[in-house]
C-alpha cells in the first residue's frame, strides 16, 4: 500500500535517484546529466510555487513522483500546465503512476488549470498507455526533435481537458 502526498525538500534525494536512470540510460528524458539532490530540491520548490510536485511513498520510501509546471511563458497559456510522472523502475506496473497522475490532475483542476499536456519520447508504450487510460488524447508528434544516445527521437504530445 502506498500514499500520495506533497513533496518536501527531504524528498529531493529520492526523486533524484528515481530520475537518474531515466536520464543516464534512456531517451525518456532529454536531459543528458542527471540532476543531483540540490537541483532536484530547487525543481520541487519551483513547481510547488505555482503548481504541484507530488510523491508516492510506502513504508520503504518514495516510489515515484509527478509534477506540473508552466507550459509556455506567455500569459495566454496560464491555464495550461505541462505534467510529468516518473516511477522507480522496480515499482512500475503497480498503479503508482496512475495514482500520482490522477492526484496531480485533480490538484491542477483545483488550481484553475483547463488543460494538461504531456510529451513522451517514442517509443514508450507504458507512457502512452498511462496517458490514454487517464483520458489524454494524442495531439501530434514532433519528428526527430531530440538527439540522444546517438539517434534522433520523436516526441508524441498528449492533452487532457481538465474542465
Q: What confidence category does residue 150 fall into, taking pLDDT thresholds of 50, 70 and 90?
A: very high
Kindly list the domain boundaries of the chain, sorted by start residue: 3-161
Write down the CATH superfamily of domain 3-161. Answer: Gcn5-related N-acetyltransferase (GNAT) (3.40.630.30)
pLDDT in tens, 125-148: 999 999 999 999 999 999 999 999
Crossing angle for the helix pair 125-133 and 96-110, nearest 10 degrees? 50
Residue 90 neighbours by CB under 8 Å, 6+ apart = none
pLDDT in tens, 65-112: 999 999 999 999 999 999 999 999 988 888 999 999 999 999 999 999
**Cross-strand bridge partners of residue 53:** 67
By the 8 A CB rule, do 67 and 40 touch? no
Residue 139, classed as helix, strand or coil, is strand
Residue with cell string 513522451:
120
Per-residue pLDDT, 154: 98
Nearest to 83 by CA among 153, 147, 162: 162
Distance of alpha carbon 50 from the chain centroid = 16
Cell of 134: 487517464
**Cross-strand bridge partners of residue 118:** 158
- Region 57-69: what's the mean pLDDT? 97
Amino acid at each position: 500500500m502506498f500514499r500520495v502526498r506533497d513533496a518536501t525538500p527531504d524528498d529531493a534525494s529520492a526523486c533524484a535517484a528515481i530520475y537518474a536512470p531515466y536520464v543516464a540510460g534512456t531517451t525518456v528524458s532529454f536531459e543528458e546529466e542527471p540532476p543531483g539532490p540540490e537541483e532536484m530540491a530547487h525543481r520541487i520548490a519551483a513547481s510547488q510555487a505555482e503548481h504541484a510536485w507530488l510523491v508516492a511513498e510506502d513504508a520503504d520510501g518514495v516510489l515515484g513522483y509527478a509534477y506540473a509546471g508552466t507550459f509556455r511563458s506567455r500569459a495566454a497559456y496560464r491555464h495550461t500546465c505541462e505534467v510529468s510522472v516518473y516511477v522507480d523502475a522496480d515499482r512500475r506496473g503497480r498503479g503508482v503512476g496512475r495514482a500520482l497522475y490522477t492526484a496531480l490532475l485533480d490538484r491542477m483542476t483545483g488550481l484553475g488549470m483547463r488543460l494538461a499536456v504531456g510529451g513522451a519520447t517514442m517509443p514508450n508504450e507504458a507512457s502512452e498507455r498511462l496517458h490514454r487510460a487517464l483520458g489524454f488524447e494524442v495531439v501530434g508528434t514532433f519528428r526527430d526533435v531530440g538527439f540522444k544516445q546517438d539517434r534522433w527521437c520523436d516526441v508524441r504530445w498528449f492533452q487532457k481537458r481538465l474542465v
